[in-house]
Amino acid sequence: MNYGYLTLETGEIFEGMLIGANKDSLGEVVFNTSMTGYQEIITDPSYAGQIITFCYPMIGNYGINALDDESITPALSGVIIGDLCETPSHYQSIHKFSEKLEQAGVPGIAGVDTRLLVKTIRSRGTVKGYLSKTKKTGFAVERKAPLWVEKVSTKKIQTYKNSGPHVVLMDYGYKKSILNALLDKNCSVTIVPYHTPFEKVKALNPDGVLFSNGPGDPMMLKQWFPEIKKISQYFPSLGICLGHQLIALSYGAKTEKLAYGHRGGNHPVKELLTGKVKITAQNHGYVVVDNSIDTNVFQITYRNVNDQSIEGLKHQRYPIQTVQFHPEAHPGPSDTAHILTEFVSQITSAGEARYAIK
Catalytic residue set: 241, 326, 328
Number of Cβ within 10 Å of residue 324's Cβ equals: 31
Nearest to 133 by CA among 31, 1, 8: 1
Nearest to 320 by CA among 219, 195, 209, 218: 209
289: CB partners within 8 A, 6+ apart: 253, 254, 255, 256
348: CB partners within 8 A, 6+ apart: 164, 165, 207
The H or E element containing residue 54 is strand 50-54
The span from the CA of 227 to the CA of 237, in Å, is 13
Q: How many helices (H) and strands (E) does the chain have?
A: 9, 19
296 exposed, middle or buried (CB, 10 Å; 0-12, 13-18, 19+)? Answer: exposed
Plot region of 243 (φ>0 → left; ψ -120 to 50 → alpha; else → beta)? alpha
